[in-house]
Amino acid sequence: MKVRILTLLALASLILAFAFLPSTPAAPNKANTPAAPAANAHPAATTATPDEPHPEIRAALKALRRAKEHMEKAAHDFGGHRVDALKATDEAIQQLEICLKFDK
């Protein structure tokens, strides 16, 4: 179980690393600019409190959700990898949510 969680966290880290690599779209696209800050996009993904269990996993979930939103709204397809990255991100989010459910 620990190996699976570590594998998922490593996958999440790689996804985040690739999602935020500096890149420039061919032309500016004002239509993809979010109206509100991304931090407000998922009110359920709040900052973990010290007494809350597994703050690292909750922080990873929050980061994955932000990365997913970024990839969905991006003006480019990340060299053809956006679809696969979105699938992997969804799977990582799902697995981390399942991990948290089993901890209760």
Asked if 57 and 72 count as a contact pair (C-beta separation under 8 A), the reply is: no
Low-confidence residues of the chain: pLDDT under 70? 1-6, 8-10, 14, 16-51, 104
At 97 the pLDDT is 94
pLDDT digits (tens, 9 = 90+) for 49-68: 556 788 999 999 999 999 99
Claim: this prediction has a pTM higher than 0.75: no
Long-range contacts of 90-94 (CB under 8 A, 24+ apart): 92/8, 92/11, 92/12, 92/15, 92/64, 93/61, 93/64, 93/65, 93/68
